[in-house]
Amino acid sequence: MTDITHRLAFGDMAETQHRISAWWVLPISAIVWWACGFLPWIAQLSYQVTGLARASDAAAAGILPLPFTTDGAVVGLVVMALMGGLLAGVTAGLPASAGAGAGAAIAGTLLGMAGAAGSSWWLAAGATVPGDAMPFGMLLVTVGAGLVGLAAGLLAGIGPAALRGVALALPVVLLDGWLWGLLPGNDVSPTGSWWVLAAALGVAFGLCVDGKPLDLLGWLPAAGTVWVLQSAGPALLTVQENIWPGSALTENPLSAAGIAGREIASAALTTEGHQLGAWVVALLLGAAIAALRLSREAGDESELSEAWA
């Protein structure tokens, strides 16, 4: 019995040694929010410098850390800030202490927002007509989407398994816009690619399961949330179409939530545009990932039982 106890303690010690300090999460999450979340924007800038893509008028006026002055800026900012927040929040699971990791991830993400978004707002405000509310509106959009992504990342990284699918719902439906934005000359704009939705939703379903078949019940709220939010991409595009200098949305950016909410609510009541084929593929992929995770957990428990026997 004594030997077994020592063996288990040594295993716990080895696992702890592979964890990083929460202090490292602070700079990592700050860098991840900008460098990973806004990777499409960074990629487009590199394409323009190397000649793979035509330089935009906004880029000619000056390069900003975030695309506050580009065409279609609202949709791109929402998607990239959301993805950056998601990835930054997931870093909370790197330290041994979930609480310390969460605190460091939150602080680091806010630091990244203050640096990148704050400097972009200051530079954009200086290049526009005095009194123009657009730069400040872009700042609010970026911070709001980043905080939503951060909350989703924290739930996905250190939250219970049942909530992971719900937390990943909005990133799942907007992921294709982020991916297409990596290609030269492409804007970050959701297009409803069925294969991206199928793969992302299948992975989200699979991650809802830790080690108990009962975790499969987490698919129900996850599926419902994704179904409702699947029209989030078109809703963002509708908001973008209603933005121009002097428009009501320019003067009151918070009213965009009402427009997006009405679009999402109306689309959630119909099957049109929900890509049912992608849902079938997602369910099959999710079942395969969940079965793999359950079998691995069962194998670990079997080895542990044999060690105690």
Segment 120-164, tens digit of pLDDT: 999 888 776 555 667 888 898 899 999 999 999 999 999 998 889
In sequence order, the 6+-apart residues with CB closer than 8 A to the CB of 57 are none
Instruction: Output the pLDDT for position 125.
Output: 80
* pLDDT band, residue 2 (cuts 50/70/90): very low
Q: What is the mean pLDDT of residues 244-273?
A: 71
- Spatial contact of 278 and 201, defined as CB atoms under 8 Å apart: yes
Give the pLDDT band of residue 272 (cuts 50, 70, 90).
Answer: confident
pLDDT tens readout for residues 22-51: 999 999 999 999 999 999 999 999 998 888
Mean pLDDT of 228-250: 78
pLDDT digits (tens, 9 = 90+) for 163-214: 899 999 999 999 999 999 999 988 898 888 899 999 999 999 998 888 788 8
Per-residue pLDDT, 68? 86
Q: Write the burial class of residue 127 (CB in 10 Å: 0-12 exposed, 13-18 middle, 19+ buried).
A: middle
Residue 220 vs residues 18, 23, 285, 290: alpha-carbon distances, Å: 34, 37, 16, 14
225-240 average pLDDT score:
86
**Among 296, 307, 126, residue whose Cα is nearest residue 211:** 296
Q: 95-99, 148-152, 193-197, 301-305 — which is least confidently predicted?
A: 301-305
Is residue 254's pLDDT more than 70?
A: no
Which tokens is 187 given? 């804007």
Please give the pLDDT value at position 62: 58
**pTM of the entire predicted model:** 0.85
Q: Give the pLDDT score at 214.
A: 83
Phi, psi of 184 (to 5 degrees): -55, 130
Among residues 285, 281, 284, 290, which one has the least CA distance to residue 206? 290
State the average pLDDT over residues 220-246. Answer: 84
Using 50, 70 and 90 to split pLDDT, how confident is the model at 302? Answer: low
So what's the pLDDT on residue 4? 38
d(CA 176, CA 231): 13
In the prediction, which pLDDT does 168 show? 95
DSSP output for the chain: -HHHHHHHHHHHHHHHHTSPPHHHHHHHHHHIIIIITTHHHHHHHHHHHHTSSPPPHHHHH---SS-SSSTTHHHHHHHHHHHHHHHHHHGGGSSS-HHHHHHHHHHHHHHHHHHHHHHHHHHHHHHS-TT--HHHHHHHHHHHHHHHHHHHHHHHHHS-HHHHHHHTHHHHHHHHHHHHTTSTT--------HHHHHHHHHHHHHHT-SS-GGGGGGHHHHHHHHHHHTTHHHHHHHHHHT--TT-HHHH-GGGHHHHHHHHHHHHHTS-TTS-HHHHHHHHHHHHHHHHHHHHHHHHHHHHHHHHH-
Q: What is the mean pLDDT of the chain?
A: 83
- The whole-number pLDDT of residue 162 equals 84
For residue 57, pLDDT beyond 80: no
**Are the beta carbons of 266 and 234 closer than 8 angstroms?**
no
Residues 6+ apart with CB under 8 A from 192: 176, 233, 234, 273, 275
Average pLDDT over residues 6-14: 36
Q: Which pLDDT band holds residue 9 (cuts at 50, 70, 90)?
A: very low
Angle between helices 73-90 and 169-180 (to 10 degrees): 120
Sign of CA dihedral 206, 160, 197, 117: negative
Judge whether 96 and 16 are in contact, CB under 8 Å.
Answer: yes
- Give percent above pLDDT 70 in the chain: 81
Examine the pLDDT at 304 and tell me if it is beyond 50.
no
Q: Where are the domains of the chain?
A: 17-172
Instruction: Please check the confidence at residue 231 and state whether its pLDDT lies above 60.
Output: yes
Between the CA of residue 301 and those of 16, 294, 295, 296, 308, what are the distances in Å? 20, 11, 10, 9, 11
d(CA 91, CA 88): 5
